Chain A
Amino acid sequence: MTRVPLERKVLNENDRLAAELRQGFLAAGTLCINLISSPGSGKTALLERTLASFEPGRRVAVLTGDIQTDNDAQRLARYGFPVHQITTGGACHLDARMVEKALTQWRGAAIDLLFVENVGNLVCPTSYDLGEEARAVVLSVTEGEDKPLKYPATFYRADLVVLNKIDLLPYVPFRIELAREYIRRVQPDVEIVEVSCTTGEGLDAWRQWLDARYAGRTSGHAS
């Protein structure tokens, strides 16, 4: 019996595809955002408010992942931008292959801003690079404020945490200061915005973050 080194990532194939996607986004000037959260944290509502805020003609597109149904795509299609549902048929996360396949339908179309709404799950999507430039993790105040500590792998890889449903703060025991502290413990460099997709509070800060990432997309992330 001989032991031979095998130095490669387990998800080598996914990482290779994701690197290709990232290269493609860079060449096309596309900013790709991977949105991750638990089921029901408000990823789709955030996207609805975001799409509604864009002027018609803005080159924005959405890929939305779910295990079953195209309900989210139907909700999002109302805003007039290209939306495609990826139905994983059981898989609890999107992978780079699914994104690549879904994007072929828009081949040749210029997309400035691509949102990828991952399957609602705080565990599995974290291991799968989709070629995104930034990851935004949504945490709503109807959840436990200790979720960053329970799911450190996901929060560690976040570029932005969106604390959602802040209009409900008076009615729930969620301690937002504690949530911020837990998020920063896991990822000290992360940015945090606090929003309500019901009242619209804080959505300016989210939009500013998007605009800043868009403005910095080619210079800041060439590696």
Chain B
Amino acid sequence: MHEMSIAASMLEAVQSESARRGTHVLAVGVKIGELSGVDSESLRFCFDALVQDTELAPLALDIEFLPWRNRCRQCTRDFPVQDYRTECPWCGSAQTELASGNELEFAYMEIEET
């Protein structure tokens, strides 16, 4: 259950951005990859629990879930990895690498017009 520490890191980052820009932040968008090791529902729960005791409340959280995709080193096409099948469905090569799904990143903030 490390989502609590991740939610705390997110709030710290939003607080510093809010202070830097001198505006109120209304929403924050994050990208969570399938392989990030973070559960979106737990993250939302922890985020909502923590934010209500801060001056950032109310702050909306928008989570974009990014499924695991690999890219083929041979034919360079990418494909969704389902049932842990990492071989390329286009050319059959086993030489594939992560294209997306590793993300634990901010995407955007919605701020008040100044």
Residue numbers of A with Cβ under 8 A of B are 1-14, 91-93, 95, 123-124, 126-128, 149, 152-154, 156, 182, 185-186, 188
Contact = CB atoms under 8 A, between A and B. Distances in A.
Contacts of A154: 37
Contacts of A8: 13, 105-106
Given A6-B17, A10-B9, A149 B2 contact: no
24 contacts: A2-B113, A3-B109, A4-B109, A5-B108, A6-B29, A6-B107, A6-B109, A7-B105, A10-B10, A10-B106, A13-B9, A14-B9, A91-B2, A123-B2, A124-B2, A127-B36, A127-B37, A127-B38, A153-B35, A154-B37, A182-B84, A185-B84, A186-B86, A188-B96
A39 B18 CA distance: 40
Interface centre among B12, B13, B29, B84 (most CB of A within 10 A): B84
Sorted nearest first, the 5 A-B pairs with minimum C-beta distance are A124-B2, A153-B37, A185-B84, A126-B37, A6-B106
A152 B37 CA distance: 8
Given A185-B85, A185-B86, A10 B104 contact: yes
A6 B38 contact: no
Contacts of B17: 6
A188 B84 CA distance: 11
B111 interface: yes
Given A3-B110, A92-B2, A152-B34, 9 more contacts: A1-B110, A2-B113, A6-B107, A10-B10, A14-B9, A93-B2, A123-B37, A127-B37, A127-B104
Contacts of B2: 91-93, 123-124, 127-128
Interface residues of B, number: 35
Interface of B: 1-2, 5-6, 9-10, 12-13, 17, 26, 28-30, 34-38, 68, 84-86, 94, 96, 98, 104-113
Label chain B's interface by main secondary structure: mixed
Label chain A's interface by main secondary structure: mixed
A153 B108 CA distance: 25
Given A6-B107, A10-B105, A185-B86, A1 B5 contact: no
A78 B88 CA distance: 50
A11 B104 contact: yes
Given A13-B12, A152-B35, A152-B84, A2 B111 contact: yes
Nearest to A153: B37
Contacts of B6: 10-11, 127
B94 A186 contact: no
